[in-house]
Amino acid sequence: MNIITIIKNKCKKQELTNDELNFFVKCTVDGCIDQYQIGAMLMALYLNNMTNAEVLGMTVAMANSGKMLQFRSSDTVVDKHSTGGVGDKVSIPLVPALKAAQEDLIIPMISGRGLGFTGGTLDKLESIPGFSANCLDYEQLLSIGNSFGCFIIGSSDLSPADSILYKARDVTSTIDNNGLIITSIISKKLAAGIKYLVLDLKVGSASFFHSIEEAKVFGKQFVIVAKLLGIESRVLMTRMSSPIGNYVGNSLEILESINCLKGKGPSDLHTLVETIGGHLLEMTHKVKSVKEGRNRIVKSLNDGTALEKFKQMLIKQKVDENIADELCYGNTAAVLPMAKYVIEIKSPTSGYVKSINGIMIAEVCQKLGAGRQFFHQDIDPAVGVHLFVKIGDYIKRDNVYMVLYHNEIDLNKLFLTLLQNSIELTNEIVKPENIIIGVIDCNNS
């Protein structure tokens, strides 16, 4: 079999066979094909799209490219995945809250880093002193999963093909393709042994999917492919134009996650955590309805069990017990990296908040060090923004509606102008839209 022939076949819009896809994936992991050929293959798949059969075949090949986690069969293995957005810290409080609400679940979350305007869960967690995204090997992952029941980690052992292809997709502008996105997500979930999955599909100006219609097309294909591979999935379409919560930035989002775990987070973050958790509990037949599942999540957030579970998870993942305790029960901000400089940004006029441009805020934070423009770039965990308003709020002129945290000695004033322009005001009363747009599963796909 020849990689050049395979690339040529796809360029001619021919459907690739499982053998051809397996060959491409194996050669990618083994390093026996050129980087140019990987890029050419991705571009051929991107431009000519992938059939469901190709998506299925490539997903299996990628999942089988590394080790597979096999937890004890008596427990239900569940997970959540997000297509990414600004201020998306949902996974951090969700995992311990869900585990605290239902102890017999196993939640092996293999997460990722931020790239572009989206923030990475692992980057946020690594702002906690001592936390390392890759501190556990395969045997340790199995052991913690079976004994403790949850973790949030990065792993090069699981679907290594995805790690290689994701980096290649970023530098070849082949990120936003439905088939390639689905193979990336589901291959990791298959390798982690997931049986039930909720996909948080972000829709809006600060996401990969700008319209509900294109999100529906993706969601329907996603649940079909997942079902064929033995994963019961459900897609929640959620709004992503303005940031989730009140904070954007790595340390700041950990601070907000701790508040959520204490039952004191912003309402939109709580809605997402409670709703996604409620769906997973209902899907696994632990409760009779999503509403009952949501109530279970609310209880774990309010009674302290979710926070304690988070603390124990950090300790399992090599964070010093004293640091974990101070982070959760003491002076949280004192534990986390904080910026040297703080600048208040005031409203230039009075009015109701009509929109908050999440992309603009994220790009400013990225350029100041909170995000990365290439994969191995270091980030500054202390950089970020604190928003004091949400859509629909009324703000008076000269009142502070945003604070920028940064470490620049000589800050470019353009950044302040961009942040001020990110909030649009109007004289008309604005009614906020529900953050949950709709649900897609096998019954309505």
Q: Which residues are catalytic?
A: 81, 162, 169, 184, 188
Q: Which amino acid is at 78?
A: V
User: Any bridge partners for residue 405, and if so which?
Assistant: 342, 384
Strand ranges (E), 249-374? 341-346, 351-356
**Quick one: tokens of 210?**
């700008």
**Could you give the CA distance from residue 109 to residue 98 in angstroms, rounded to a whole number?**
12
DSSP string, 221-282: HHHHHHHHTT-EEEEEEEE-SSPSSSEESHHHHHHHHHHHHTT-S-HHHHHHHHHHHHHHHH
Cα 104 from chain centroid (whole Å) = 24
Residue that the structure tokens 């092996």 belong to? 108
Burial 304-328 (b: 16+ CB within 10 A, else e): ebbbbbbbbbbbbbebeeebbeebb
- CA angle in degrees (0–180, nearest 5) for 261-262-263: 90
- From residue 114, give the alpha-carbon distance in Å to each of 13, 51, 120, 166: 33, 29, 4, 12
| 2 exposure class (CB count in 10 Å sphere: 0-12, 13-18, 19+) | exposed
Rounded to the nearest angstrom, the gap between the alpha carbon of residue 46 and the centroid of all alpha carbons in its chain is 23
Name the strand (E) or helix (H) holding 424.
strand 423-426
**Interior CA angle at 192 toward 191 and 197, to 5°?**
110
What would the DSSP string read from start to end of 47-87?
HH---HHHHHHHHHHHHTTS------TTSEEEEEEE---TT
CA 314 remoteness from chain centre: 19
